[in-house]
Amino acid sequence: MSKYEQYKKDVLKYGQMMLNKGYTVGTGGNVSMLVDGEDVLAITPSNREYMDLTPADICIVDFDMNIIEGKYNPSRETGLHIAVYKNRLDANAVIHSHPIYSSIFALINKPVPAIFDEVTIGIGNVTDIIPYALSGSDELVDNVKTKLSNRCNCYILQNHGALSIGANIGKAFRNLELMEKASRIYYHALSTGEKATALPSDMADLLFQLMKAEQDNEIERKKSQIK
């Protein structure tokens, strides 16, 4: 049995959940987990139906894009996932999805502000827009890198979809759901023609600081492994 077996099972589980909950269709999107203590990730393969996959089909890839395990090619967005892990040390899981309401804001190129406290403490004080670039391109990877420093856990990919990250795969998926909840309600609020209010800035900042404290704890945990 592969030493990466549990990572493969978890990536498959959440990839299928993403599909079953309507956060993507067909073979769209991709899911990955960082292997603890290694520059290695488990990621869904390219252009394969989620419900037809088994754990053995999940790819194990290092940060140089070398395939360690897997009979299929890894997702063409693998470079994007690696960029997140390299630039956000608090991240241990990445989900790229195509949820309906978040994708609406991907088309109108409008960030979703902090509108609920339970969302803000999970994903940050804004769901910002990452400028468009072709899926799988180096340009898209570079565009993602420019936004990661805001330390939020969710992003909208212009004319593409959404990106969520977390300290573990469960949190990354929860963040996806929080982002989609906020996007759905914000969309309907805007459709009334009335002004949609955001959280008071001081409260949004406080909740964001609490979220960043959790990120800092995970970064310190990783650093302690190296010592």
The catalytic site residues sit at 77
Q: How far apart are CA 69 and CA 193, in angstroms?
A: 52
Q: How far apart are CA 117 and CA 106, in angstroms?
A: 23
Sequence-ordered strand ranges (E) for 63-160:
67-69, 93-97, 112-113, 126-130, 154-157
Q: How far apart are CA 154 and CA 133, in angstroms?
A: 18
Q: How far apart are CA 9 and CA 57, in angstroms?
A: 10
Q: State which amino acid sits at residue 212.
A: K
